[in-house]
Amino acid sequence: MATPGPRRILAILSALTAAAGLTLTAAHPSAAAGAVTATCTKTSDWGTGFEGSCTISNGTSAAISSWRLEGDLPSGTAITAAWNTTQTHSGNHYTFANASWNGTVAAGASTSFGFDGSGTGWFSGCTVNGAACDGSGNPPGGDTQAPTAPSGLKSTGKTDTTVSLSWTASTDNVGVTGYDVYQGSAKATSVTGTSATVTGLTAKTAYSFSVKARDAAGNVSGASNAVSVTTNDSGGGNPPGGTKVMGYFTDWGIYQRNYHVRNIDTSGTASKLTTINYAFGNVTNGQCAVGDGYADYDRFYGAGESVDGTSDSWDNGALRGSFHQLQELKKKYPNIKVVWSFGGWTWSGGFTQAAQNPAAFADSCYKLLNDPRWAGLFDGIDIDWEYPNACGLSCDTSGFASFRNLLSAVRSRFGSSQIVTAAITADATSGGKMDAADYAGAAQYVDWYNVMTYDYFGAWDAKGPTAPHSPLTTYDGIPIKEFNSTDTIAKLKGLGIPSGKLLLGIGFYGRGWTGVTQKAPGGTATGPAAGTYEQGIEDYRVIKGKCPATSVVAGTAYGLCGTEWWSYDTPSTIAGKMSYAKSQGLGGAFFWEMSGDTDNGELVTAVRSGLG
């Protein structure tokens, strides 16, 4: 659901590349004096894909406050992930802009970002801040033309202390590098994209906002139209927190993990749940489809492994598999709702086609959930699109409104009596995944969002720095400041999404590195630690004994065991996160996923006890 996919194999591939003695050449000439330049290289290449990095060098005599690198990839080559940058693309034209923390580059200094790609090609037509990456295209005498003024400024959401804004992009003869948002005559914040959230405001107060664009040479546009917004009444603080507890059950868990629906009962988990998300259904040909027919409705369960103690039937047309077991579980626990989740990390690529005809997609899903073979089992649908108008395992360019349009069609088809939810990004960076799609507009169509507040950091960054994968708050030295649950929830609430529609995500697993000598976060590593099913990740039920946590940072536990560094949530840290969820008036919490817990459900017990 939230596994970073391609980057998890980089350590192995990098090692193979080094062993083979390959030389990877730079794609662009070296930096030219007196200009802002960029050099991009392949740091690893395994034939069907690559890892790359770009270094932006400021050869001028003054600091720059932002940067923007663009280039084209040939057909069949694509960027699949990027870090230390905000990345967008239109077709094969890719744009990389600075993140919120690395836009300022002092005179004579440099900064870098990295990325993963698929295919064999490489960039052409590289430009940085509108000029050729080798410095040859910098205009003589410098750029003196200011960008056009931003237009269409509007408010997209507000709370008692925040206002969210969006506007239409400016144009420039070289290139716009950023925008300054003004609260009255004072600068409130600076961003690289065309949306921003102003924080720290006073409840029930009127404010006036405007925006100006700037380019790399420091030229500033005229002001946009002004918009007046009055913040909400505080209403005495956040509403009381909700008590929803949703857990994911994976269809593949019945294989190596040997985790079946019966285990939900015997572990005590069922009595603590309000909702089960069954993962995953496929999204293909613009439609919902079965993910694993054998696991879902065909696998035979004998009396000893079934929920109700009776064997499945071999009669033609008889329902077997996890679907039948879930029917029996619902009979025993009639309060539990079962939701079928579609997409996930592996199958989210299918949403691009689905977004072209949302009504047809929604109709296919409705018919599948209500198939006569299992009619009445499912109480609703979960859309796990990773990620609309952004990149996960694959990249989507269906547009800012695609997510809202898709969920609108789903709600229309399923009606008000069925549950409609969505798993969404936790990327709160300016210009990041949360800014790429209309999560605020789509919120009206869902009962709640499952906010994936985990997998912020992991050993896909093979050399570190080590960092907890699910920090509740920021901390000194965190690799990306906004990668924490508190900033994520604050940004979503700032978009105007009701707190009761947000569920805090908890990972029932740990992430780890090997080759680590430093106990505190921030240490270097040589690669991902060994895991039972996948490098760099291990279920809680295993990791609690393999590497007991000895310390806590930002509300998440961690430990150094030999040369392996692991971070994960424990019953104690989950209690802290549930206290936070209640204080914010969130709708509750969810977890990924059930088979990672102990046989007696230590973690789900902590979730339920913490929420009350």
- Give the domain ranges of the chain: 5-132, 151-230, 244-507+570-611
How far, in Å, CA of 151 to CA of 164, rounded?
16
Residue 134: partners with Cβ closer than 8 Å, 6 or more residues away = 28, 29, 30, 31, 32, 37
The yes-or-no verdict on residue 1 having pLDDT over 70 is no
537, β-bridge pairs: 511, 534
* Residues pairing with 40 in the sheet: 54
Where does the pLDDT of residue 109 fall: very low under 50, low under 70, confident under 90, or very high at 90 and above? confident
Burial (CB count within 10 angstroms: exposed 0-12, middle 13-18, buried 19+), residue 218: middle
Which of 402, 393, 394 has the alpha carbon at shortest distance from 422?
Answer: 402
Peptide bond into 387 cis (omega under 30): yes
Residue 502 CB partners (closer than 8 Å, separation 6+): 448, 449, 451, 489, 492, 493, 584, 586, 587
Per-residue pLDDT tens digits for 284-320: 999 999 999 999 999 999 999 999 999 999 998 899 9
**Selected catalytic residue, list 51, 386, 482, 564:** 386
Residue 391 CA to residue 88 CA, distance in Å, equals 8
pLDDT digits (tens, 9 = 90+) for 12-56: 333 333 333 333 333 333 334 468 899 999 988 888 888 899 999
Which pLDDT tens digit goes with each residue over 498-508?
999 999 999 99
Q: What is the rounded CA–CA span in Å between residue 287 and residue 281? A: 10
Is 386 a known active-site residue? Answer: yes
| pTM (predicted TM-score) | 0.67
CATH topology for the 151-230 domain: Immunoglobulin-like (2.60.40)
The topology under which CATH files domain 244-507+570-611 is: TIM Barrel (3.20.20)
The CATH number that domain 5-132 falls under is 2.60.40.290
| For range 459-482, the mean pLDDT | 95
Amino acid at 4: P
* CATH topology agreement for domains 5-132 and 244-507+570-611: no
